[in-house]
Structure 1
């Protein structure tokens, strides 16, 4: 039996959509033509591996929406809050294009421009399509994406294709109108407001029709679904089956965000979000039918930078007002940066292809020993696919599952900044204690460095801190730690704790 980093869609370990790639294992995307796989190679929102290396950007040009969701409140804004619908500035198309040019020149690894709100982009077709029209002319090296609820989608498929938009995300939370009636209080359809089950029927019909039309035109479609416990949790398995059958290639099941302070209907009514275990279990259940995306950060509608970070404050309108970017020169620089990134990814793939960790020797001496159990490990990283972040500087941890067969990405855990000078959360719990609680289920934390205090508290919680693999590729380091655990006898299903690893 061997532990290895399993291959991506193109057949090379660690690249494209790797084992974690889009969270589903490379074999789930292997059926896609090479041309399609090439389209997602540097798309951080469509490829899990690409999100380690490339940045994305959203521009908020679409304020109006044609449906109401019980989990949405577009009026709320906080510069520190990251969730869909939140923006600090609503831009005109001209302002949006100027901002994109400025960001692309300053952040050359930015490859994707998306329009996702704060309302629905296709409920604001003039503003959305004019932005895309200008960008396709002025910045042809940037991928263009749009995210929509799908209500107006069928009538705009021709326009989407005309503007070279090759990636579309549709939020589909149900395929059963009875479920939909619990999620959507109303839609605006044919100049009137429609409510209840009828509203859900119309929305579902339009979503499915639009999905089929996009696939027929060769557009890559990702489906987003919000997991709402007690409402659509079990039903999302059917959603995944249906959208896969109609040609969507990626399914992103996201947790409901329902804190009361956001002012949503669900939040005010006490609807809870899913636990990490519930989300992972549902994603795993859907993965049997569909390639799953697990690296989504549920970004703001004006997010800028790598997934998991937001550099929007660096590019407000007042800060870019006087900039005059030579985009031809910027494109040349961007091409150089992208080539360097791809060379680095290729080197990581080559290294990972040689990472075969044999654990057969762990069982030869005792043939009756059961197969080693899987282990969850949390990783602190700022990007690049390597372990390169101090524990106390992390705002999120990527979580991987190591097993006897592979290393796979399973999700991320957002945390408060430990080294921030403020040691308590709003409820009186210390930041460190909350971080450790949010890492529940993980047995190892890999980071570049870690202080004495968190080291001790992690150990006390049964989580082994590990700073021995700084600047190493994530999957390779996890495989090495898993091997060490096996050699130390910590992988038997009935015994052993990671805490002993740090002794």
Structure 2
């Protein structure tokens, strides 16, 4: 008897999954109208597949905020923290436009410019819309998007539409004022501070009204939600249901960043963040047939580069002042680079359609067992390839492989412990932290790995694998899953036992 194991790239695998539940880039896009596919195919925050290839940048032109969140502590001159609300320098609109053009010329894969802080862009409307106006005129090939808490959103929808902004992110952490009162101590509304449940009620009403207005204008809305264990974790299922009903395109459930050194209220009070398993379970519960974003990196408000990297130090004001940018020429280069990336993505999609099911032979005298899923970690520096040394990784991408295919689960940040060359350093604590971060994974794929981490990974029950260097991630993950299945490591004994007893 034979057991069919489908690859992520198989059309049968794609059709067997609901549009958001599998989490694959193919499933996320396949059911969408062509008009919407064209809007998101090169947006790294809205398309899981695009984030391997296209870069983004944020410009920090919005220092003021009109609400206070217990998980936020804004910093305007910090180079050491990687989280929302943090920037190295606040820019004027003129400086932001100059920096955007310099980055777009130097990083032709850049497709999106966003304003996300360090405060709220719509609490700084003059600075925000002046930046958008100039960029629309001077860099028309760059997508523009904005991220907001939603308090001022209804008053700004017409202006957003006027500037051809196709993508708006709203942070919605609750739809119940009693929950909101535990997250937001106050808002600034009608020239005064409003506190507690009353403040949360106003914020929720404004967020929902703004969401409905954006959807009515055909603007794609991504909803961000911060998962706060014991505060809104169970409630976020209701949030997801409601924003989906109102037409949100994508829901991004993010983990609370709760380290005390960041100086947030939650951090100081000891509020914990979620474990990776808790976050995954909640994302799965919220998914249903709604698109779930699982590749978010909770970027700084001045982030530059691919998701998962930050090249902001290359483009400080003093450095861009010394750059001679010919943006007309840069646009031609960018157009060619983008066309090449889209052609590569189209080839990948065509290959998916060609791949057939692969069979794993089973003995004739036993029932075909059910294969259980397996989580597999990947070290990558971008491009959708396994192209990073284990010791050079600052994060691992986590995939779940099963007979239905491959789905992206999320990412886990780590401290890089190997510095230069092919020899790993003696940073034992960083190495131990990397291995702890891979809890629940059965294998880790990388381009190369040293003897010491190899041994420690095996001791932790994780199989290191450097045999798929420079291969496409999803194909390599499925290949390893097939190898594990062929070796009999993935049999789910419970369903088999039930079948035999019946």
Residue 111 of structure 2: SS of its match in structure 1? strand
Given the superposition, is the C-alpha separation of residues 6 and 215 from structure 1 closer, same or farther in structure 2, using an over 3 Å criterion? Answer: farther
Matches within 5 A, 1:406-425: 406-420=405-419
Q: 1:490 matched to which residue of 2? A: 489
Counterpart in the other structure of 2:460: 461
- Report the alpha carbon displacement of residue 230 of structure 1 after superposing the two structures with TM: 0.2
Q: What is the DSSP-based 3-state SS (H/G/I as helix, E as strand, rest coil) of the residue aligned with 2:62?
A: coil
Shift of 1:366: 5.1
Identify if the C-alpha distance between structure 1 residues 103 and 434 changes in structure 2 by more than 3 Å, giving closer, same or farther. Answer: same
1:225-304 equivalent positions in 2, closer than 5 A: 225-304=225-304
Give the distance between the partners of 2:10 and 2:188, measured in 1 at CA.
45
Q: For 1:4, what is the secondary structure of its paired residue?
A: coil
Q: What residue number does 2:431 align with?
A: 432
Q: In structure 1, how many angstroms separate the alpha carbons of the residues matched to 2:455 and 2:38?
A: 45
Q: How much does 1:25 deviate?
A: 6.5
> How many angstroms does 1:127 deviate by?
0.2
For 1:243 and 1:37, the matched residues in 2 are separated by 20
- 1:345 equivalenced with 2:348 (yes/no): no
2:400 maps to which residue? 401
Q: Which runs of 5+ in 1 are unaligned?
A: 496-503
Pairs aligned (count): 487
Helix, strand or coil: the match of 1:35? helix
How many angstroms apart in 1 are the aligned matches of 2:346 and 2:326? 30
What does the per-residue CA deviation read over 1:217-265, in whole Å, with 9 as the maximum and x for residues that have no partner?
0100000000000000000000000000001010000000010000000
Task: State the TM-score, normalizing by the size of structure 2.
Answer: 0.93
- Alpha-carbon distance in 2 for matches of 1:152, 1:284: 31
Q: Report deviation, 1:388.
A: 0.6
1:41 aligns with 2:53: no
Query: 2:295–2:410: 8 Å Cα contact kept in structure 1?
Result: yes
Structure 2 residue 71 is the aligned partner of structure 1 residue 71: yes
Structure 2 equivalent of residue 374 of structure 1: 373
Structure 1 residue 347, shift from structure 2 partner: 2.8
- Cα distance in structure 1, aligned partners of 2:289 and 2:338: 33
Contact 1:74 1:119 in 2 (8 A): yes
Indicate the residue corresponding to 2:161 in structure 1.
Answer: 161
Q: TM-score, normalised by structure 1?
A: 0.92
Checking the alignment, whether the CA contact within 8 Å between 2:19 and 2:28 is kept in structure 1 is no
Contact 1:401 1:408 in 2 (8 A): yes
Deviations 1:130-176 (A, max 9, x none): 00000011000000000000000000000000111110000000000
Q: Does the CA-based 8 Å contact 1:229-1:274 persist in structure 2?
A: yes
CA separation of 1:366 and 1:448: change in aligned 2, threshold 3 A:
farther
C-alpha separation between the residues in 1 aligned to 2:23 and 2:193?
38
Asked if the contact 1:7–1:19 (Cα under 8 Å) also holds between the matched residues in 2, the reply is: no
Q: Does 1:111 align with 2:114?
A: no
Structure 1 stretch displaced more, 338-347 or 453-462: 338-347
Q: Alpha-carbon deviation of 1:352?
A: 3.5
Alpha-carbon shift at residue 325 of structure 1 (Å): 1.5
Q: Give, in whole Å, the separation in 2 of the partners of 1:123 and 1:112.
A: 21
* Residue number in structure 2 paired with 1:132: 132
Distance 1:482 1:376 in 2: 9
User: CA contact under 8 A between 2:379 and 2:396: conserved in structure 1?
Assistant: yes
SS of the residue aligned with 1:462?
Answer: coil
> d(CA) in 1 for partners of 2:418 and 2:27?
40
**Secondary structure of residue in 2 paired with 1:430:** helix
Report the CA distance shift for 1:369/1:390 in structure 2 as closer, same or farther (over 3 A): same
2: CA distance, partners of 1:203 / 1:22: 32
The SS at the match of 1:226 is strand
| Partner SS for 2:225 | strand
C-alpha separation in 1, matches of 2:48 and 2:21: 5
Distance 1:387 1:24, change over 3 A: closer
RMSD: 2.3
Which of the pair has the greater relative contact order for Cα pairs under 8 Å at 6+ separation? Answer: 2
Contact 2:379–2:386 under 8 Å retained in 1: yes
Tell me how far apart the structure 2 counterparts of residues 128 and 150 of structure 1 sit (CA, whole Å).
Answer: 15
Aligned partners of 1:281 and 1:136: how far apart in 2? 41
Which residue does 1:501 correspond to in 2?
none
User: How far is the alpha carbon of 1:365 from its aligned partner?
Assistant: 3.1
- Contact in 2 for aligned 1:377/1:402 (Cα 8 Å): yes
Q: What is residue 3 of structure 1 aligned with on the other side? A: 6
> Take 2:280 and 2:170, find their aligned partners in 1: how far apart are those partners?
21
* Residue ranges of structure 2 left out of the alignment (5+ in a row): 495-502
